[in-house]
Structure 1
């Protein structure tokens, strides 16, 4: 999977687990999220990292989406220690997370558009798609795309030039080893 993502030089791509832990990402995904303290968990990045409110231009939509995705994963695995740990952590650190969690919204990732703002390359209007990873239950490959010949495509090229060597994200807690699934 990592080898496949690394071949996508113009497309940020990463794999998330049920608790939205980032299990692996290509160098462009890492560069895209470089304004965050850590590129390790999407929900933590939205609710706890100060960069989240600037990066996600539609922050409230991103917040509701993260919580609804965690709820959906929790419905598939209500005994998940990792999801319970994340919910407890974020509930303690963010009143907004706790309030949205109590709403019981459920939604899985799909195909949508996002408006992001990177601290170095500015506004990004992306489309994304999430794909289930066969052989790795409840893991998803998330792929961001820019319209061809758009300001976002130009920004992705700038980020590509800034990108470090591809590396696997370090996610806390017990997550499945993506490499073992290949």
Structure 2
């Protein structure tokens, strides 16, 4: 990722239609989206300067330049944060080491009616309670949600809203990749998925950035059938790079009954005890 900023600018420029920024749509265009000179003009930059940004020959744009580019390229808040992060990267930092609070682990396990997971930026499932394991268990890639979506043979069947989930996974990986402490591991995952999944490769090239904090999951579970769940995500204060994801079904609903059934049917399966902080350090 030697020219991360330039690659990102080119990808986002290709995703903006002329009519999106009040330019006439006509004319012959060799590439999709806006031309370099159009972006430069609307951002108040010279074409030469903007070209050097895309080619990686200029790597220190000012905040005002980045704000102008974010406006022209129609970047949302998450995408703007990503743009500033990759444009102002400091020296390499060692991999982050996080410790999970014993109270947090006990709390996760105490939620017997709600599936709960803790995942890292690579979408590895670090910790899950019983229902969390029951929902995602039984797949070839049950331990990593990104691989489950793009590499697991059952992924497209398991996720009834697979297209939305795939887009969210890719955009969240892109958002996390701006953190230098986890960048190396993430880029290894991106390399693997790019080689092994054409769908991931196409979506990654769009350079979309999003950190989704709530939503709905529509699953087709092999034991209890269709599950429609809502979820919220939180970042633990002691390990802000991790994400706690809690699912729920409306109390007394058919989906709530299915979760109860799933918990009962999988109760005989051995649970791996959640590791306490002095037993597991999360990289």
Q: Same fold (TM over 0.5)?
A: yes
Runs (5+) with no aligned partner, structure 1: 170-175
For 2:272, which of 167, 178, 181 is the aligned residue? 167
- Partner Cα separation in structure 2 for residue 100 and residue 62 of structure 1: 12
- Partner Cα separation in structure 1 for residue 249 and residue 226 of structure 2: 12
- Partner Cα separation in structure 2 for residue 117 and residue 48 of structure 1: 17
CA drift at 1:39 = 2.0
1:18 is matched with 121
State the superposition RMSD in angstroms: 2.1
- Partner Cα separation in structure 1 for residue 218 and residue 166 of structure 2: 13
Q: Which has the larger radius of gyration?
A: 2
> CA 1:49–1:99 in 2, change beyond 3 Å: closer, same or farther?
same
CA drift at 1:38 = 3.3
For 1:157, which of 257, 260, 274 is the aligned residue? 260
For 1:46, which of 149, 154, 158 is the aligned residue? 149
Aligned ranges 1:10-159 → 2 under 5 Å? 10-77=113-180, 80-159=183-262
Q: Which has more strand, going by share of residues?
A: 1
TM-score by length of 1: 0.89
Name the SS for the 1:76 alignment partner: coil
CA drift at 1:109 = 2.5
CA drift at 1:152 = 1.1
CA drift at 1:103 = 0.6
2:121 and 2:182 in contact (8 A); partners too: no
- Partner Cα separation in structure 1 for residue 273 and residue 172 of structure 2: 22
TM-score by length of 2: 0.58
